[in-house]
Amino acid sequence: MDKTNDPKLTSWVAVAADSHFPIQNLPFGVAARTDGECFIVSAIGDRVIDLSELERRGVFSNTPLTGMNIFQGTSLNPFMALGRDCWKAVRSTLSHLLKAENPTIRDNAELKQSVLIPASEVEMVMPLEIGDYTDFYSSREHATNVGTMFRGVDNALMPNWLHLPVAYHGRASSVVVSGTPIRRPTGQTLPEEAESPQFGASKVLDFELEMGFFIGPSGELGDPISVNDAENHIFGMVLVNDWSARDIQKWEYQPLGPFLAKNFGTTISPWVVTLEALEPFRCDGPEQTPEPLPYLRSTGKRTFDIQLEVALAPDSAEGTTITRGNFNTLYWDMRQQLTHHTVTGCNAQTGDLLASGTISGSNNKSLGSLLELTWMGKKPLKLVGGEERKFIEDGDSITITGWCQGDGYRIGFGVCNGTIIPATKV
């Protein structure tokens, strides 16, 4: 075990047992001060760690980052591009500085005040520049549920589904950070029994419980990334809500797939949690039958035990947890997703976002969308306070949380939150 993952490791910074950010996590993000100035940070407990200030004071002089000024910008991209050795060196340095017995920052009041800032005093912003966005369809349970709704039980999974990670290219420009309001989309729909489409605001708006990962070092055009090398190109993970307008999608998606139904907004959590932090929570994924083609054969513990929850809160009302799931139920893993994406020679680039697709479990309390939870609106959900929901209404907030539970600590992702605001009148 890497010493930064030791469950007995403690910090001189107070960290609650249920905090998402113990010393074993040390995620990366970008924060904004009240004057709008943005700076690169990590997190511990209820504090953010100013990495730009630590770098200016020479803290990383004994790492591969010496002389690079890699944390003086407002995006994680330059750091992400450096690769795993650099990521581990920074993580190790931070862990050493923050452990309980190290006095370097602990006993220096001026330094401590400069580099440790209450999280309540900053706003977390988009942590990096996203070049491209791909959304997969990797939950067998979700694909089966949706296929059953639209094609029947006998044709639930398309013939290709068990042989490759199905995906589509999304819209990177509308990926937003947690807390950003999402405007209800407008578009064409074909109401039941209607002979021609109508234009207006979507009436069947949904969330999708997902996780995503960011590309670190780029791949070369024409040079596929092998399944055994894939994780060397994965910097870290975030929570994802890929909002979906089901009625728009139903009319538009044939034959080329989602377009307007998905391009109006995708919400991500602001903290990027590294694979190093998740390492103790590796686990086996679902058995894959038939065995994938050789280029997709991913061995060992290929996924992570990440608990997931979704809450729905009507405007100014108490939230209701509407589903609980786990990342480890996904049939296709991140290695396979990235390898398949690049097998043609497609060049994955630093900052690209690849999302899992909706994560649904095997029971009715672990489904990753309202489409499934209400079975196309036929079984409305009852919320705390007595309201019901078939799909998302204006003013509703969706909050996704996720964490790995350790012995007395947890490695968390914070929250991925978005509130629906009314459509623009056209």
- The CA distances from residue 425 to 184, 201, 244, 391, 395, in Å, are 11, 9, 20, 21, 17
Residues 142, 148, 149, 152, Cα dihedral to 10°: 170
In a domain, 32, yes or no: yes
Neighbouring residues of 404: CB distance < 8 A, sequence distance ≥ 6: 278, 280, 281, 304, 305, 306, 307, 410, 411, 412
pLDDT for the residue 226: 98
In a domain, 68, yes or no: yes
Contact 38, 52 (CB under 8 A): no
Q: Which residues pair with 311 in a beta bridge?
A: 321, 399
In a domain, 74, yes or no: yes
**Distance between CA 108 and CA 58 in Å, rounded?**
15
Instruction: Tell me what percent of the chain is helix, strand and coil, each rounded to the nearest 5.
Output: 25, 25, 50
In a domain, 336, yes or no: yes
Q: Within this chain, do residues 102 and 159 fall inside the same structural domain, yes or no?
A: no
Q: Within this chain, do residues 212 and 250 fall inside the same structural domain, yes or no?
A: yes
Torsions phi, psi for 179 (to 5 deg)? 100, -15
Q: Within this chain, do residues 112 and 190 fall inside the same structural domain, yes or no?
A: no
As a whole-number percent, the residues of the chain with pLDDT over 70 amount to 100
pLDDT digits (tens, 9 = 90+) for 74-121: 999 999 999 999 999 999 999 999 999 999 999 999 999 999 999 999
pTM: predicted TM-score of the whole model, two decimal places = 0.97
pLDDT digits (tens, 9 = 90+) for 115-167: 999 999 999 999 999 999 999 999 999 999 999 998 899 889 999 999 999 99
**Two tokens, residue 146:** 């949706």
Q: Within this chain, do residues 120 and 138 fall inside the same structural domain, yes or no?
A: no
pLDDT for the residue 199: 97
**Two tokens, residue 314:** 């009507």
pLDDT digits (tens, 9 = 90+) for 222-264: 999 999 999 999 999 999 999 999 999 999 998 988 999 999 9
pLDDT band at 316 (very low <50, low <70, confident <90, very high): confident
In a domain, 348, yes or no: yes
Q: Within this chain, do residues 231 and 314 fall inside the same structural domain, yes or no?
A: yes
- The CA distances from residue 174 to 130, 344, 377, in Å, are 10, 26, 27
Tell me which of 83, 107, 125 is where a domain ends.
125
**Two tokens, residue 260:** 């307007």
Residue 112: left (phi > 0), alpha (psi -120 to 50), or beta?
Answer: alpha
pLDDT band at 344 (very low <50, low <70, confident <90, very high): very high
Tell me which of 109, 125, 141 is where a domain ends.
125
Q: Within this chain, do residues 258 and 183 fall inside the same structural domain, yes or no?
A: yes
pLDDT for the residue 299: 87
pLDDT for the residue 193: 86
In a domain, 273, yes or no: yes
Tell me which of 125, 159, 181 is where a domain ends.
125
pLDDT for the residue 36: 94
Q: Which of 371, 319, 406, 349 is nearest to 139 (CA)?
A: 371
Q: What angle do CA 335, 43, 214 make, to 5 degrees?
A: 25
As a whole-number percent, the residues of the chain with pLDDT over 90 amount to 94
Q: Which helix (H) or strand (E) holds 206?
A: strand 205-206
Q: Within this chain, do residues 264 and 326 fall inside the same structural domain, yes or no?
A: yes
Q: Which residues pair with 418 in a beta bridge?
A: 398
pLDDT for the residue 62: 87
Query: Please, is 382 exposed, middle or buried when counting C-beta atoms within 10 Å of its C-beta (0-12, 13-18, 19+)?
Result: exposed
pLDDT band at 377 (very low <50, low <70, confident <90, very high): very high
Instruction: Please give the positions annotated as active site.
Output: 142
Q: Within this chain, do residues 352 and 327 fall inside the same structural domain, yes or no?
A: yes
**Distance between CA 194 and CA 158 in Å, rounded?**
28
Q: Within this chain, do residues 229 and 338 fall inside the same structural domain, yes or no?
A: yes
CA terminus-to-terminus distance, the chain: 58
pLDDT digits (tens, 9 = 90+) for 168-224: 999 999 999 999 999 999 999 999 889 999 999 999 999 999 999 999 999 999 999
pLDDT for the residue 360: 98
CATH number assigned to the domain comprising residue 409: 3.90.850.10
Domain that holds residue 26: 3-125
pLDDT for the residue 6: 96
**Two tokens, residue 107:** 């006993």
In a domain, 20, yes or no: yes
Sign of torsion over alpha carbons 63, 69, 72, 78: negative
**Distance between CA 77 and CA 95 in Å, rounded?**
22
CATH number assigned to the domain comprising residue 98: 2.30.30.230
Residues 245, 251, 256, 260, Cα dihedral to 10°: -40
Q: Within this chain, do residues 103 and 212 fall inside the same structural domain, yes or no?
A: no
pLDDT band at 317 (very low <50, low <70, confident <90, very high): confident
Number of domains forming the structure of the chain: 2
pLDDT for the residue 150: 86
pLDDT for the residue 314: 97
Q: Within this chain, do residues 81 and 184 fall inside the same structural domain, yes or no?
A: no
Report the half-sphere exposure of 371 (CA within 13 A, side-chain side): 29
In a domain, 426, yes or no: no
Q: What is the overall mean pLDDT for the chain?
A: 96
Q: Within this chain, do residues 417 and 344 fall inside the same structural domain, yes or no?
A: yes
